[in-house]
């Protein structure tokens, strides 16, 4: 049985461990360039996001072990007719994949979004062959491709 628990500040070390595994997988599957991600201020960002209520994190626990997590934030846009959620991170330990842990986290995220009265839930995954399994996972769980590419510009370090 999979239990979903809302994270608190005390859960940082567990989430950080899973987050680092996620980032490592992304780096390995993409460019191999570890400088793409900054891991130096994650505790501060985690604490600030939770304290300000702009970042919500939930852990999947089975057999007394945390095996995955999902994080979300709220956004607002005219194209969505108001408030919507964005999945920022989703990770499941490799040994627990294809065991419905990710599906349970997504189901929980949809229920959470309904409680928050979000219009939709969005997620971004790299559009490269190395993430085809991830793309199939999201499609299997009801997500549809909307197109476009994610771009960024750094405005502070």
Task: Return the HEC string of 60-75.
Answer: EEECCEEEEEEEEEEE
The CATH number of the domain holding residue 58 is 3.40.630.30
In a domain, 68, yes or no: yes
Q: Packing angle between helix 12-29 and helix 42-52, nearest 10 degrees?
A: 120
In a domain, 146, yes or no: no
Range of the domain at 94: 3-140
Q: Packing angle between helix 132-140 and helix 101-115, nearest 10 degrees?
A: 50
The count of structural domains within the chain is: 1
Question: Left, alpha or beta for 132 (phi > 0: left; psi -120 to 50: alpha)?
Answer: alpha
Residues in the chain: 157
Over its length of 157 residues, how does the chain's per-residue pLDDT go in tens digits?
Answer: 999 999 999 999 999 999 999 998 888 888 777 777 777 788 999 999 999 999 999 999 999 999 999 999 999 999 989 999 999 999 999 999 999 999 999 999 999 999 999 999 999 987 788 889 999 999 999 999 987 777 778 787 6
């Amino acid at each position: 049985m999979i239990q979903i628990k809302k994270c608190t500040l005390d859960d940082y070390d567990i989430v950080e461990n899973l987050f680092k595994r996620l980032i490592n997988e992304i780096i390995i599957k993409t460019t191999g360039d570890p400088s793409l991600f900054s891991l130096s201020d994650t505790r501060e960002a985690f604490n600030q996001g939770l304290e300000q209520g702009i970042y919500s994190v939930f852990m999947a626990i089975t057999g007394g072990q945390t095996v995955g997590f999902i994080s979300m934030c709220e956004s607002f846009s005219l194209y969505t007719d108001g408030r919507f959620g964005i999945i920022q991170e989703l990770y499941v330990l490799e040994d627990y994949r294809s065991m419905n842990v990710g599906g349970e986290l997504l189901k929980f995220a949809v229920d959470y979004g309904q409680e928050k009265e979000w219009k939709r839930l969005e997620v971004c995954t790299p559009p490269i062959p190395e993430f085809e399994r991830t793309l199939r996972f999201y499609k299997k769980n009801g997500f549809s491709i909307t197109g476009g590419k994610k771009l960024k510009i750094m405005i502070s370090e």
